[in-house]
Structure formats: structure tokens, C-alpha cells
Amino acid sequence: MTVTLRALETAVPATILIQHQARDVFAAQPGLTRLGQRLVRTCFDSAAIDTRHTAVAEMSLDFHSPDPMFYDGATGLLLNPTTKQRNDLFAAEATALFIEAAAKALAACRELGAADITHVVTVSCTGFFNPGPDYKIVRALGLNPSVQRYHLGFMGCYAAFPALRAAKAFCEADPNAVVLVVSVELCSLHVRTSNDPDTIMGSSLFADGAGAAIVSARELPYSGPVLELDHFETVLTPVGEDSMAWNIGDHGFEMVLDTYVPRIIDDHIVGALEPLLARAPALAGIPYGDIAHWAIHPGGRSILDKVQAKLELSDEQLVPARETLRNFGNMSSATVLFVLKHILDQPSMEERESICGMAFGPGLTVETSLFTKVSELPSLDGQGAGNQFDHVVRV
């Protein structure tokens, strides 16, 4: 049985943050020490980010609110709303983004419709409300009220892969299943001014975005390139529990992102890949650079640099991750879905190409995955060649 990701779409809030403008705002805040000011400029300038999106409209320099909560454009001051105020905005803005991304994925999947959805899996670590986003999607899109609903909450940047793994398991258990997976993260709700290096790092990296996928094992024609979901693995590194964390404070969620994290990834990435690649005999023993595509979660520029150097990957293989980081920042769990979409949208050299995915999160957790991008597709009238190919496959 082949389980296939048949549509993948993304969505972002309308408000755009220009990195150098955001840097200047954060660097100008009262209470920053000289060291804090230097850290702000260093972190923002070295992040390899040009633009990010935020659900906080008042963070735009062109927006002036008479009753600001996060940023007072008249004074240039970053404000410090409570966790409840931040979460209330999450409930409003995340709901709209969950529905938008889900609707886009359904519209892109011409061979399936809302009535076909049997399972909904939602993902977020940046807010909570109940009835949750799974419920909101069912109501807004007119899905069957008996749809099975699951929410993966507070896992962190790697959570899209467990969500896709769950979707694969549902489809293997029921070949008629059609699973809608939606990830929405509003990380910018939790940024704040501080002299703390972790907080400054988060302010320079994190952003808001959404990704949605339709997954099924039904034997149907395709309306575009698809991903076969091959294998997923989870590895916990022996160190790093205190180096990456996500905690709830009185004034938002608090990130711990130690500068030691890239070193941990450098030391343990090869071992983390071993159980995944052992599941794919065709990839056993070949150089990492011979795998066609790499969908790496861009947790930050230094993490991508470490992965590229350790695995000896080409600049071209890092383009999807680096371009996602440059244009959207780190959107936590949604980010790797942007990277996968970048790969899906690229012209293919072969009919079938392997993709190795990696994402990192608290623990330190390393989630890995193998996909096959299928680009030579059967026609919608069902008369095409199907998914069987008789030539050598480029991995």
C-alpha cells in the first residue's frame, strides 16, 4: 500500500516584517544594556532572513493602533502583554489561518473534496483553545461531523513529521481514509524585548505561518506532483534536554535555544539518520549528497550550516531550506511544510526522486523522514501510466 501526500499548500498572515526594520525597533528599546544592543544587531543581521510574517498587525511600522497591545507605533515601544492576551489573539488569528490553509489544500486536490475527509490532524505549539482548530476546520469547511479529529500540541518545531506519520498510519489502517493535516504557528505572539540571549535569538528568528496537506492511500489519478510517504523515524540525542525548550511564562511562551544546539546537531546528526536510512535499502551506503533533495527544518542559519557541512550537501540541496528561512523565518512546525512545498514546486530531473527530511525540537528530538517525489503522473481520465516506472530511479 502506497500512502501519498496529494496536495500541499501554505498560508501566511498579511503583515510583513522587514528584518532590518525589526532589528532597529528591538535595538532601540529602553532597558537594553550595551551588550543587549550588540546581541540584537548581531542576531538579526546574521539570521539570513529578509522578511517574516506576523499575525500581530500592529507590529507593522505603517499600522497605528489607538489602543496598542504589542507595539506602540507612536512611541516605538514594544509592550509586554500577558499570556492570556497573547493567547486570546492566537485563538482569533490562528483559527483564520487554520481554515485558510485547509481550504487551499482541499481546493488544490481536484480528485478529492470535503466530503472525502475522514480524519483531521492539527498541529500547533504557540497557543491553546477549545473547541480547538480541528473543530473549527470541520465547521468552517463543512466536513462530515463524524470526522475523526486529533490535535498535536506543544511539541515544537518537529511536530509536522509526527502529524504526517499519524496520517500515514491512519491510511494504512483504513485504505479508504483521507487525512487533512494542518499546522499553524504564531510564534511572533511571544516575542518580547530582553537582554536575555535566548529571547533575543527568538525575536530575530521566529515568525508565523501555516501549512496543510491531504494524505490518502486511495488509488486515484493525480492532479500534480505528489509525495509518497515512505518512512519516519524519531531519535533523542543523548544530550541537549536543557538546550532547547519551550515553556509557558506569565508574559507569553518562553523559548530556550542554547548556542550549543548546532554543536549537538553536528555531533549526532549522522547517528540520527542511521535508523531512517536502514529502512531504505536503495539508499544504504550511498553518500548523503546523492540523495536528490533535503527537506531540512531551518531552525536557524547556523543549524543549516552545520547540517550542510556534516553531510557534505551541495548549496543547491540547501536552497529549499535557506530560501524558506530567508523569506519566511522560522515558523516552528509549519516551516518544514514550506520546505517540502518548495521541493514539490521545483522542476524534476527524474520521474521519481528521493527526499530526506529532518526537523529538530525540544529534547533534543530529531525527526527524520523519507519521501518519494513522483512527477510523471497518470492523466486525470485514468488512462495514464500509473505509479510504475521501468527505468533507473535517481535518488
Q: Cis omega before residue 364 (within 30°)?
A: yes
Is there a catalytic annotation at residue 125?
Answer: no
Q: Where would I find the H helices in the chain?
A: 19-27, 34-45, 83-108, 133-141, 160-173, 197-205, 261-277, 301-311, 315-328, 335-345
Please, are residues 52 and 16 in contact by the beta-carbon 8 Å criterion? yes
Three-state SS at 139: helix
Question: Which of 109, 125, 157, 171 is the catalytic position?
Answer: 157
Amino acid identity at 358: M
d(CA 343, CA 295): 8
| Cell of residue 392, nine digits | 533507473
CA–CA distances in Å: residue 226 to residues 181, 202, 385: 15, 33, 15
Which backbone phi and psi does 153 adopt, to 5 degrees?
-115, 145
Three-state SS at 328: helix
Amino acid identity at 208: D
| Cell of residue 82, nine digits | 500577558
Which backbone phi and psi does 271 adopt, to 5 degrees?
-65, -35
Three-state SS at 69: coil
d(CA 220, CA 36): 56
d(CA 336, CA 329): 11
Residues catalogued as catalytic: 157
